[in-house]
Amino acid sequence: MGNSKTHEGESYIVYDKGMSFKLHKLPVDGTEWQHVSDFRPSHTDDFWERVTMMAKWNGTLYIVASVDKIGRETALNELFASTDDGETWVSLGRCPEGWEVGLAVMDDKFYLALEHEIFVSEDIGKTWNVVDEGLKGEVNTLKVIQNTLFATTSTGLYYLDGDSWRRLQFPIPVPIPQVKTIVSLAGTENYLYALTTWDWQNVGQQEQTWGLFRSTDKGQSWTDITPKNASLIMGAEPFEDEPQATLVAVKNTVLVIGWRGTAVIRSIDNGDTWTLEKTTNISLMPYSVHNAIALNENTFYLHGPSGFYRSIDGGISWKRLDTGTTSNIIDLISVKTSKEQNTSNFLYAMFSGSVYDREKWVFKSNDEGKSWRVVNPKIEIKEDIPSFTRIVGSDGVLYAKSRGPTSWALMSLYRISEDRNTLVPIKDMPVFSASSLFNLLYYREPDKGSDKSYWEQLQESSVGATQFFKWLAQMGSLQHKGFRRSYQDKLREFGLRGPFAVSGDTFYMEYNFKLFRWEPGDTEWYDTEQEETANLSWKIVERELKLAVSDYTVYVGKRDGRLVVSFDGGNNWLDFTPALPFPFKTFKKIIFAGTTVYVATDAGVATSSNGKQWRAILDSEGTNLIMEHLAVDGTTLYGINNNTGIYRLESDVWEQVISDIPENITSLAVDRNTLYVGTQNNGMLHYNLEE
């Protein structure tokens, strides 16, 4: 995804949608995005990740579309041009291959920054030449400021002098060896600003490990403008050496946006003095502001996984503009923390740019989604924060399923702390480790002398469904190493994404396509012997197991379309599939409301109060509606039909309560008379029902 601002003040945003890219435009002073066009690169068969970089020059809009194809170790890049503000596009040809970082135009020359090299084209993309003399390190950003091309790398800040790069120095107190990272770079007609971190590795702890600098001569000399009371203004500890934030500047105004996820630090005198703007209507996630744009001293835009925001008062207050492109909500639940009827619930959510993102954080809102705060575990090093894959509410408590920060990480469960500010591990709960399986897959050859097959050796290294290990072994026979690794990694990721459920102090969790149970006092997870037995084709794998628990009753909707139930906590199982009142293929949701269970399928919703007698839930016209999502408030059931709206179950009949809903809904939560809808592209929406 990329965004850009034209000199006329219009903003563009381009994002991937399936096998093509979509371009949207926000007019000057506009509040709604306008869909302009779609375009498709010439190499979009079976690609995974897509990235775009945009620039405008001489009235023409340019986009470099970057495509990561399966089986390739580098990305494919293609340059497009539009002379009619994005309505039609012409391919100008392929660009150098590699992971794209930035696109800039200066002095009739096009510069393309890849991860390890920077290229220049003097014929609008027909030919490209490397321009990297003097440049060291991995390239992070590429910007034109004051008609000078700047590049930040893992070794510092550089500017292009003729055909070679010159490294700029910062006035860091002795004995500091180097600037560690250029966190963000911004500039105006007269000033250049840089937010940096310093390398203290061999020096020891100092009073400060980061700095904010200003230059009036394009970086040849610098003035330290770090706020004197930085810890008070920015909430930063003295030794916090990774101040993730984004700079944006125009005339005399400088903003530091996204510091610790919530703050906008503002200066209106070129950085001489600073104030913290405690905005109440900006919902940023930490590390989530990717781009910031200034139209003038009053109007600013920022963009990232948190959404697209605009300020028209110089950065003091912000309003979210729905782009239809960002703020994916992959899970949303409402947790009631008090038995009092008039007490509002807490909302918990997981946001993500992609459902396959490794890093997913859990957020909390106690003001109906107006603002969000991260509730991750208290871990000193950001890289050690686990990635959370699921959240569940039970008896007023939030629980979260996590995997550690590495491919061989531990799989474990957390619960919200008593003050609801952090997630804490569940005491004495054993964890699942994938390290032995990972090592056998990628670092050790199968034991050819063993009388056991490869899949049996894999099964001995870990726990999970037999079919899981058989398919892993089958993929190991692929000759192409890239395909083998990609497919095995993908299958392992799906094995870690299984659901979990909580009933009292008893926990159920699927791991590697097999269901396990744990209770306090157990030293290991109990194998319920319930697992996926169907051949794990990708069609089956990409479906999700559906799990619901109430006391000792456990319902499992399997990926192959079978419904099984246990009335003794997972010791014994019955197959209830033949008892359901209509044929179906897949499950969408299983949920309890009191002692009544509701099973949503691709053919409608069935319900039972005892598991033996079942009936279909119909609307007033006798239609068996298909509900993509279900949610319960007390004993009242709500459901979403993608075509006709949101329904409430009244006297065992579906009654429509909301008719106008967005596309790409991912989740539904209810708090009394308010419905919260999580979407794939439009963040969270809420609907207030009449009393």
Please tell me the predicted confidence (pLDDT) of residue 219.
94
Mean local confidence (pLDDT), 467-471: 91
Residue 174, pLDDT > 70, answer no
Residue 356, pLDDT > 70, answer no
For tokens 């964890």, the residue is: 431
Secondary structure letter of residue 385 according to DSSP: P
> How far apart, in whole angstroms, are the C-alpha atoms of residue 281 and residue 317?
7
Mean local confidence (pLDDT), 433-444: 80
Residue 329, pLDDT > 60, answer yes
Beta bridge partners of 331: 350
| Contact residues for 360 (Cβ-Cβ < 8 A; gap 6+) | 330, 350, 351, 352, 387, 388, 389
Number of H helices, E strands in the chain: 6, 57
Cα separations (Å) of 143 from 4, 147, 182? 12, 10, 13
| Banded model confidence at residue 34, pLDDT cuts 50, 70, 90 | low
| Banded model confidence at residue 73, pLDDT cuts 50, 70, 90 | low
Continuous H helices in 425-571: 435-442, 454-461, 466-475, 481-496, 538-541
Of residues 12 and 655, the one with the higher pLDDT is 655
Burial class (CB in 10 A: 0-12, 13-18, 19+), 243: buried
Beta bridge partners of 598: 591, 607
What three-state secondary structure class fits 38? strand
The topology (CATH level 3) of 2-233 is Neuraminidase (2.120.10)
| Banded model confidence at residue 26, pLDDT cuts 50, 70, 90 | low
Highest-pLDDT range among 170-179, 352-361, 393-402: 393-402
Burial class (CB in 10 A: 0-12, 13-18, 19+), 596: middle
Of residues 15 and 119, the one with the higher pLDDT is 119
| Banded model confidence at residue 46, pLDDT cuts 50, 70, 90 | very low
Residue 188, pLDDT > 50, answer yes
Question: In sequence order, what DSSP letters do the residues of 541-586 get, joined into one string?
Answer: HTS--EEEEETTEEEEE-TTS-EEEESSSSSS-EE-GGGSSS--S-
% of the chain beyond a pLDDT of 70 = 75
Please tell me the predicted confidence (pLDDT) of residue 150.
97
Please tell me the predicted confidence (pLDDT) of residue 41.
60
Please tell me the predicted confidence (pLDDT) of residue 76.
77
Region of poorest pLDDT, from 108-112, 231-235, 431-435? 231-235
**Average pLDDT value over all residues in the chain:** 81
Please tell me the predicted confidence (pLDDT) of residue 342.
54
Mean local confidence (pLDDT), 351-377: 65
pLDDT digits 0-9 by tens, 112-121: 998 889 999 9
Contact 397, 375 (CB under 8 A): no
Residue 668, pLDDT > 80, answer yes
Region of poorest pLDDT, from 317-321, 410-414, 434-438? 317-321
| Contact residues for 394 (Cβ-Cβ < 8 A; gap 6+) | 501, 502, 503
Chain region(s) in the chain for CATH 2.120.10.10: 2-233
Region of poorest pLDDT, from 177-191, 227-241, 568-582? 227-241
Secondary structure letter of residue 422 according to DSSP: S
Please tell me the predicted confidence (pLDDT) of residue 472.
87
> How far apart, in whole angstroms, are the C-alpha atoms of residue 413 and residue 391?
10
Q: Containing H/E element for 198?
A: strand 192-198
> How far apart, in whole angstroms, are the C-alpha atoms of residue 494 and residue 385?
20
> How far apart, in whole angstroms, are the C-alpha atoms of residue 118 and residue 106?
14
Of residues 405 and 476, the one with the higher pLDDT is 476
Highest-pLDDT range among 65-79, 221-235, 305-319: 305-319
Residue 40, pLDDT > 90, answer no
Neighbouring C-beta atoms of residue 426, cutoff 10 Å: 16
Please tell me the predicted confidence (pLDDT) of residue 239.
40
For tokens 């700029």, the residue is: 168
Question: In sequence order, what DSSP letters do the residues of 92-148 get, joined into one string?
Answer: EEEE--S-EEEEEEETTEEEEEESS-EEEESSTTS--EE--TT--S-EEEEEEETTE
Mean local confidence (pLDDT), 629-642: 93
Q: Containing H/E element for 51?
A: strand 47-57
Mean local confidence (pLDDT), 258-267: 73
CA contacts within 13 A on the Cβ side of 626 = 12
Please give the single-letter amino acid code of residue 348: Y
Highest CATH level, class, for 244-326: mainly beta
Contact 333, 306 (CB under 8 A): no
pLDDT digits 0-9 by tens, 588-623: 999 999 889 999 999 999 999 988 899 999 999 999
Whole-prediction pTM value? 0.62
Strand pairing report for 60-69 and 618-619:
unpaired
Residue 244, pLDDT > 80, answer no
Residue 350, pLDDT > 60, answer yes
CA contacts within 13 A on the Cβ side of 131 = 24
| Banded model confidence at residue 203, pLDDT cuts 50, 70, 90 | very low
Chain region(s) in the chain for CATH 2.40.10: 244-326
Please give the single-letter amino acid code of residue 298: N
Neighbouring C-beta atoms of residue 70, cutoff 10 Å: 13
| Banded model confidence at residue 387, pLDDT cuts 50, 70, 90 | confident
Which of 607, 651, 609, 610 shows the shortest CA–CA distance to 627?
A: 607
> Which letter, b or e, does each residue of 312-327 get, where b requires 16 or more Cβ atoms within 10 Å of its Cβ?
eebbeebebbbbbbbb
Secondary structure letter of residue 6 according to DSSP: -
Residue 287, pLDDT > 60, answer no
Region of poorest pLDDT, from 237-246, 269-278, 674-683? 237-246
Please tell me the predicted confidence (pLDDT) of residue 20.
54
> How far apart, in whole angstroms, are the C-alpha atoms of residue 322 and residue 304?
12
